């Protein structure tokens, strides 16, 4: 029985730096991830774009991305579409990162064959 949908949520940065700056200060290079094709039934939500850093939300003991992901799932009791979840996470992470004087732009990637259909799918 093949899986209908695989949702992946990654709160990690690929810049080669850590949230607290320890790795960034100790390394002289930036790691750029290799772009891979997304399989037909997979949606990948990531905390950052390109070589950005995933920042902490220290008051909440989570990364910004994870905090807003969990908040939306809790508020909606999981009854939300992937499109609504994407919009909520992106808007709130962008807003909070500006307040913190940081830059963090979450991304969502899906196979092109899905043509946006995934936005109406739910986690339940």
pTM for the full model? 0.81
The stretch 49-70 carries a mean pLDDT of 92
3-state class (DSSP) for residue 123: coil
pLDDT surpasses 50 at 84: yes
CA dist., res. 72 & res. 66, Å (int): 10
pLDDT surpasses 90 at 33: no
Q: Hunting for tokens 């969990």 — which residue is that?
A: 70
Q: Which two tokens stand for residue 21?
A: 């700056």
Q: What is the mean pLDDT of the chain?
A: 84
Range with the lowest mean pLDDT among 5-9, 38-42, 84-88?
Answer: 38-42
Range with the lowest mean pLDDT among 19-28, 65-74, 81-90?
Answer: 19-28
CA dist., res. 18 & res. 24, Å (int): 6
Domain spans, the chain: 6-120
State the burial class of residue 94 (Cβ atoms within 10 Å of its Cβ: 0-12, 13-18, 19+): middle
pLDDT at 35: 65
- Fold for 6-120, please state it: Rossmann fold (3.40.50)
């Amino acid at each position: 029985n093949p899986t209908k949908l695989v949702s992946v949520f990654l709160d990690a940065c690929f810049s080669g730096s850590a949230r607290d700056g320890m790795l960034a200060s100790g390394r002289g290079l930036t790691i750029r991830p290799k772009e891979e094709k997304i399989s037909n039934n997979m949606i990948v939500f990531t905390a950052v774009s390109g070589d950005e850093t995933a920042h902490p939300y220290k008051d909440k003991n989570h990364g910004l991305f994870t905090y807003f992901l969990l908040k939306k799932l809790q508020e909606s009791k999981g009854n939300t579409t992937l499109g609504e979840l994407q919009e909520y996470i992106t808007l709130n992470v962008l807003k909070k990162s500006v307040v913190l004087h940081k830059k963090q732009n979450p991304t969502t990637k899906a196979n092109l064959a899905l043509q946006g259909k995934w936005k109406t799918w739910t986690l339940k």
